[in-house]
Chain A
Amino acid sequence: MGPTLDFSVVFDAMPLLLWGCLGTLGLAVAGIALALVIGVLGVVTRGSAMAPVRIATIAFIEIIRNTPFLVQIFFLFFALPGLGLKLNPTVTAIIALGVNGGAYAIEIIRGGVQSIPRGQTEAGLALGLHPAQVFRLIILKPALRAIYPALTGQFIMLTLTSSICSSVAAYELTSVAQRIESDTFRSFEVYFTITGLYLAMSWLLMSGFALISRRNFSYPTR
């Protein structure tokens, strides 16, 4: 049998694949939200005056960043039920994505907080701004602007990483594709098509992030 391509089965399955895309985006959004929460809390514990808290945070960051996501999700998949948490694969996947993304987010957000010179706060207060205004306009916004490219880049990485969640049968694009593949045996056609869908999703996210950046962060700094 020579090399023949037949994309018709993939086109027939397109509605299923588009639902899979929604599953992937849902996983990504939930994972990003959890990663942000872990990221902000982690910045606080990372700078804690209590050494054990600080060291535990550093250990968490280093362990997560130096082991593969695949091993992390397998570990969680088996370890969470041991903690009495009987979760479905999709929730496990969200936790795994959030924990993984959170470890990276801590270091990124910490860099942004450190990039704001102390004098800036004092200058704001001296100009008669309310402390809440100082925090929102003089600390939070410039810090967000400084970390925005790294943070959104990490979010897109997280979205692409979510394809690995197919290995615990979470509901997302890759596992939908694997089901279609095992029904049709059109492996190349199926994976080639969903690679295109992933590319479209990451471009969509990138454009969205760029739009937010232009709306909020396009003011001169010097």
Chain B
Amino acid sequence: MSKGFGAAEFLFLLEGLKWTLLLSAVAFAGGGVFGLLVALGRTAPYAAVRRAMAGYIAVFQGTPLLMQLFVAYYGLALLGLKLPAWVAVAIGFTLNASAFLGDIWRGAIEAVPRGQDEAASALGLHYGQRMRDIVLPQAFRIAQPATVGYLVQLIKGTSLAAIVGFIELARAGQIVSNQIFEPILVFGVVGAIYFCLCWPLSLLSARLEAKFAAATR
């Protein structure tokens, strides 16, 4: 009794894609802001702050993303916050992204030659000026390939929102698949859509890396 994979089904998947993109954008923006704080904390002049941020990163890198989403989803509800599912999930993704981006940017900050920071310090620049004008602009260049590469992980990761019941691309695929009984076709199409999203970013990341390797050789 299958009615096949038609325009209506494809439009439903595109509707899911819209939420995948939105969720990725929110998580990347939120993860970017908090990730910068994590990276600065991880390289801060205070040992206690550095250790706390190292712990934050270790916990988020040492547990499954799916568990982080579950804990955020049910934890926020337990706190009495009646949030829409997508907001709860976006908070989970933001916390996860800030740990991973924080670690990538920590590495980039440490890769800026120490002399840069010391010279700026000798010129009388204070911490804020040194970071904003000297260290971070250089670190940002170094971090570009890994940051774009992480964006691919992030987009793929948003598929886990499907398990919490949020209708993004992967969940939309499950729903269509259950309706028309053609799972191989539907998940093939869903996979192809993800691929069209992620592959250009992977290529960009690889090209940035090659460019950076050529510049520093």
Q: Select from chain A the residue with minimum beta-carbon distance to B66.
A: A163
Complex-state Cα separation, A194 to B199, whole angstroms: 33
Residues of B within 8 A of A2 (CB): 80
A-B pairs, top 5 by smallest CB distance, nearest first, are A68-B159, A78-B183, A66-B198, A163-B64, A191-B70
Partner of B62, one of A5, A187, A202: A202
Complex interface: chain A residues within 8 A of B188 (CB): 75
B190 within 8 A of A: yes
- Tell whether B173 is near chain A: CB-to-CB under 8 Å: yes
Interface membership of chain B positions 58-85, coded 1 if the CB is closer than 8 angstroms to chain A and 0 otherwise: 0100111111101100110111100000
A167 in contact with B163 (CB, 8 Å) = yes
Answer whether A192 and B199 are a contact pair too, CB < 8 Å, given A68-B156, A199-B63.
no
How far apart are the CA atoms of A188 and B76 in the complex, in Å?
9
Bin the interface of chain B by size.
Answer: 35 or more
Q: Are A66's CB and B202's CB within 8 A?
A: yes
Determine how close the nearest CB of chain B comes to the CB of A82; give it in whole angstroms. 6
Q: Is A123 an interface residue (CB 8 A)?
A: no
Complex Cα distance, B75 from A5, in Å, reads: 10
* A74 surroundings in chain B (CB, below 8 A): 170, 173-174, 177, 183, 187
Asked if residues A65 and B202 are in contact (CB atoms below 8 Å), the reply is yes
Interface residue? A120 (CB, 8 A): no
A182-222 with Cβ < 8 A to chain B: 187-188, 191-192, 194-195, 198-199, 202-203, 206
> Which residue of chain A has its CB nearest to the CB of B69?
A191
Q: Annotate B168-212 by CB proximity to A: 1 below 8 A, 0 otherwise.
A: 001001100100000110011011001100110010000000000
- A58 to chain B: closest CB distance in Å? 12
In the complex the two chains form, what is the Cα distance from A138 to B198 in whole Å? 38
Within 8 A of A (CB), among B148-174: 152, 156-157, 159-160, 162-163, 170, 173-174
- A65 contacts which chain B residues (CB < 8 A)? 152, 198, 202
Which single residue of chain A is at the shortest CB-CB distance from B192? A67
Among A3, A79, A191, which residue has its beta carbon within 8 angstroms of that of B67? A191
How long is the Cα–Cα vector from A130 to B194 in the complex, in angstroms? 49
User: Contact partner of A195 among B68, B162, B187, CB < 8 A?
Assistant: B68
Q: What are 6 A-B contacts defined by CB distance under 8 Å? A: A3-B78, A66-B198, A67-B195, A68-B157, A68-B159, A70-B162
Dominant SS among interface residues on chain A: helix
Would B70 and A82 count as touching, CB distance under 8 A?
A: no
| Binary contact readout A154-181 vs B (1 if CB under 8 angstroms, 0 otherwise) | 0010001111101100000010000000
List B contacts of A70 (CB < 8 A).
159-160, 162-163, 170
User: Cβ of B160: which chain A residues have Cβ within 8 Å of it?
Assistant: 68, 70, 164
- What's the nearest-Cβ distance from chain A to residue B195, in Å? 5
Q: Are A174 and B64 in contact (CB under 8 A)?
A: yes
Q: Is the CB of B67 within 8 A of A198?
A: yes
Interface size class of A (residues with CB under 8 A): 35 or more
- A191 touching B74, Cβ below 8 Å: yes
Say yes or no: A202-B170 contact (C-beta < 8 A), given A66-B202, A71-B159, A188-B71: no
In the complex where A68-B157, A160-B63, A187-B74 touch, is A82 in contact with B184 (Cβ < 8 A)? Answer: yes
B62 touches A199 (CB 8 A): yes
A67, A79, A82, A163: the one within 8 Å of B198 (CB): A67
Report the bound CA distance from A195 to B188 in whole Å: 31
Smallest distance from the beta carbon of A70 to chain B beta carbons, Å?
5
Residue of A nearest to B65 (CB): A160
Q: Which of B63, B174, B190, B194 contacts A202 (CB 8 A)?
A: B63
| Cα of A194 to Cα of B70 in the assembled complex, Å | 11
- Given A71-B190, A195-B67, 6 further pairs, Cβ under 8 A: A3-B80, A66-B194, A68-B194, A82-B184, A191-B71, A203-B62
Residues of A within 8 A of B59 (CB): 199
In the bound assembly, the distance between CA atoms of A67 and B190 in angstroms comes to 9
CB neighbours (8 Å) of B183 from chain A are 74-75, 77-78
Known contacts A67-B195, A68-B156: A174-B63 contact under CB 8 Å: no
**A63 contacts chain B at the CB level, 8 A cutoff:** yes
- Tell me, in angstroms, the Cα distance from A156 to B61 when the chains sit together: 9
